[in-house]
Amino acid sequence: MDTEQENEDKTYHNPLLKEHVASETKVKSWLVEYVGNQCEPEDSNVTVGMIVETVAKEFPEFLMVVAEENFMRGYEQALNDVENYNKVIKEHDQILTPPAVTDDE
């Protein structure tokens, strides 16, 4: 197995990308029809992955805003998690640390 294939095998693949999209709203109907015309899937089913690829190609600004917002929220959550973890560790250390022994005793 070559290195490129090994890297591809290790890459996370979101199973939602393979889900078929139902035309439940006017916007979904329009988008599914548009993407279906662009991608021409053999089985006539448009997947979430096809929509993402089409939007990335034709309207990258939209996808970048969504991706950046998602990244920043995740980064902020990670910082909050670290801060809370440090508080817990500090409280835990205070509980487990015996009082200091002085020379007076």
Q: What does the pLDDT read at residue 8?
A: 61
| pLDDT of 37 strictly over 60 | yes
The DSSP call for residue 102 is P
Q: What is the mean pLDDT of the chain?
A: 87
Scan for tokens 């929509």, then name that residue.
51
Q: What does the pLDDT read at residue 10?
A: 65
Q: What does the pLDDT read at residue 13?
A: 85
Tally of CB atoms within 10 A around 62 = 11
| pLDDT of 39 strictly over 90 | yes
| pLDDT of 54 strictly over 90 | yes
Long-range contacts of 89-96 (CB under 8 A, 24+ apart): none
